[in-house]
Amino acid sequence: MPQLDVSTFLPQVVWLVITFVTLFLIMWKVAGPRVGNTLETRQRRISGNLDKAAGFKKEAEAVLEAYERAMNEARAEAGQVIAKAGAELSEKVSRREAELAKRLTAEIAESETRIEKAVSDAINDIGQVAVEAAGQVVRKLTGEDADEGAVGAAVDQAMKTRP
Amino acid sequence: MDRGVTATPVRTKEIDKVAEAHSPLAQFEIKRLVPIQIGDLDASFTNSALFMVFTVVLVTIFLVLGMRRNALVPGRWQSMAELSYIFIANMVRDTAGPEGRRFFPFIFTLFMFVLVGNMLGMVPYGFAYTSHIIVTFSIALIIFIGVTVVGFAKHGIRFFGFFLPPGTPLLMAPLAVPIEIISYLSRPVSLSVRLFANMLAGHTLIKVFAGFIVSMGVFGFVPFAFVFALTGLELLIAFLQAYVFTVLTCLYLHDALHMH
């Protein structure tokens, strides 16, 4: 069995040590770090990209939030404007109503005074007319002019008794 | 060899030599390709050494040239190089723990050295230096000594407590401690013999069946099928034994770092 040939042990061990140490040094100083660096770089790149993606996502969320906030603000402002316009409108309407009411009352009052005046004028005129009529009636009946003062007093008295 | 019995003594020797060449064990012969003698040290460059050098060259090419483009998205070759790195890195992390990271270059070297050594044995005219007990035992001894040194460096004198598993009744100590010590000392033996025996048995078996192919004539296809199947099995074993060798090393390292 060649494995038990002791004379071959030494050269095998010597070259085992030489080659193993050489390979170890290559692995330790060259090959290992090279592979390790590549893997690490890749890992860093991937996690960096993931971080970047997370950052973008956060940014997008912030933009969305800002948009929603702006939207809400605009909505609130619009509501305010609408309410203000409504208030203004109703105020104007009530003012106009008040103005109209005032004008109508003034007109009614004026009309009433005019009617009253017309009524009193009419009453006065009736007195005059009655005096004239009574004077003419007297002239027709008597054939002579009646005393105006007496006729006027009689008419006045008649009008007082029969309102 | 029976044929040589009736032949003349000179011819017997010749035939013995031929028979030896066809013996299943002839493939393990160590041949001095370049005899080198440094003082009393026989450092001859043998076929075993040649394949060790092949291993160094192959692994270096595989890893260094595989990573030369250093691509962010790896190609096939780079992917394989990275995969081997990740495979061992995960093994060290899972088996030896996070503190085992410092020993990763050694474990990676160990795995590659054993794996490529086993695989080179599967190449026709190849030679598996891992089929020699002296090689596997030397590696196992280095691991054993290294792990023990790591254990004492980390835990000092308390590392002797490793030989008394926690929870053992003190009454059992006289029995448990010698068993633990024997089991600890037999680690390099079991580690080296496992790999060596697997390689030896596999290659011998293939060679034996391959010998039957010619001697069985027309029915040679039967052993040929066996050899075909065995080659597949041997490739699996070549990987598996390299894996087992490395995992056990990580496990020993874990014991030294964490003491159970």
Instruction: Report the C-alpha gap between B20 and B31 in whole angstroms.
Output: 14
- Write the residue in B49, B113, B138 that is nearest to A11 by C-beta: B49
Compute how many other C-beta atoms are within 10 angstroms of the C-beta atom of residue B28.
25
The CA-atom distances, in angstroms, between A61 and each of A48, A50, A54, A66, A72 are 20, 16, 10, 9, 16
**Residue B4: per-residue pLDDT:** 44
User: Does A4 reside within a domain?
Assistant: no
Contact at CB, A11 and B44, closer than 8 angstroms: yes
User: Does A5 reside within a domain?
Assistant: no
Q: Tens of pLDDT along B129-176?
A: 999 999 999 999 999 999 999 999 999 988 888 888 888 888 888 888
Task: Classify residue B39 as left (phi > 0), alpha (psi -120 to 50) or beta.
Answer: left
Contacts of A17 in chain B (CB under 8 A): 138
Task: Classify residue B70 as left (phi > 0), alpha (psi -120 to 50) or beta.
Answer: left
In percent, the amount of chain B with pLDDT more than 90 equals 61
**Residue A157: per-residue pLDDT:** 82
- State the ipTM, two decimals: 0.87
Contact at CB, B59 and A9, closer than 8 angstroms: no
Compute how many other C-beta atoms are within 10 angstroms of the C-beta atom of residue B140.
25
Q: Which residue of B has its CA nearest to A15?
A: B49
**Residue A131: per-residue pLDDT:** 81
User: Does A48 reside within a domain?
Assistant: yes
Written as one letter, the residue type at A26 is I
The count of domains in chain A is 1
Mean pLDDT of B79-83: 93
Find the range with the poorest average confidence among A152-156, B10-14, B234-238: B10-14
DSSP letter for each residue of chain B = -HHHHSS-HHHHHHHHHHHHHHSTTGGG---EEE--EETTEE--EEHHHHHHHHHHHHHHIIIIITTTT--SS--HHHHHHHHHHHHHHHHIIIII-GGGGGGHHHHHHHHHHHHHHHHHTTSTT---GGGSHHHHHHHHHHHHHHHHHHHHHHHGGGGGGGGS-TT--GGGHHHHHHHHHHHHHTHHHHHHHHHHHHHHHHHHHHHHHHHHHHHTGGGGHHHHHHHHHHHHHHHHHHHHHHHHHHHHHHHHHHHHHH--
**Residue B8: per-residue pLDDT:** 47
Domain boundaries, chain B: 31-258
User: Does A66 reside within a domain?
Assistant: yes
**Residue B1: per-residue pLDDT:** 42
- Predicted confidence (pLDDT) at residue A163 exceeds the cutoff of 60: no
User: Does A126 reside within a domain?
Assistant: yes
Q: What is the pTM of this model?
A: 0.73
Query: For residue B131, which of A18, A12, A10 has the smallest C-alpha distance?
Result: A12
Tell which B residues from 164 to 193 touch A, by Cβ distance under 8 Å: none
Instruction: Report the C-alpha gap between B112 and B130 in whole angstroms.
Output: 12
User: Does A118 reside within a domain?
Assistant: yes
Q: Tens of pLDDT along B26-68?
A: 889 999 999 998 888 889 999 999 999 999 999 999 998 888 8
Mean pLDDT, chain B, whole residue set: 88
Q: Tens of pLDDT along A19-68?
A: 999 999 999 999 989 999 999 999 999 999 999 999 999 999 999 999 99
**Residue B74: per-residue pLDDT:** 86
User: Does A2 reside within a domain?
Assistant: no
Contact at CB, A23 and B55, closer than 8 angstroms: yes
**Residue B173: per-residue pLDDT:** 86
Alpha-carbon distance A55 to nearest alpha carbon in chain B (angstroms): 23
User: Does A21 reside within a domain?
Assistant: yes
**Residue B51: per-residue pLDDT:** 96
Q: Name the token pair of A79.
A: 């509501």
Please report how the helices A9-26 and B104-120 are oriented relative to each other, as an axis angle in degrees rounded to 10: 130
Domain that holds residue A96: 10-161
Q: Tens of pLDDT along A81-135?
A: 999 999 999 999 999 999 999 999 999 999 999 999 998 888 878 878 888 888 8
Instruction: Report the C-alpha gap between A39 and B89 in whole angstroms.
Output: 12
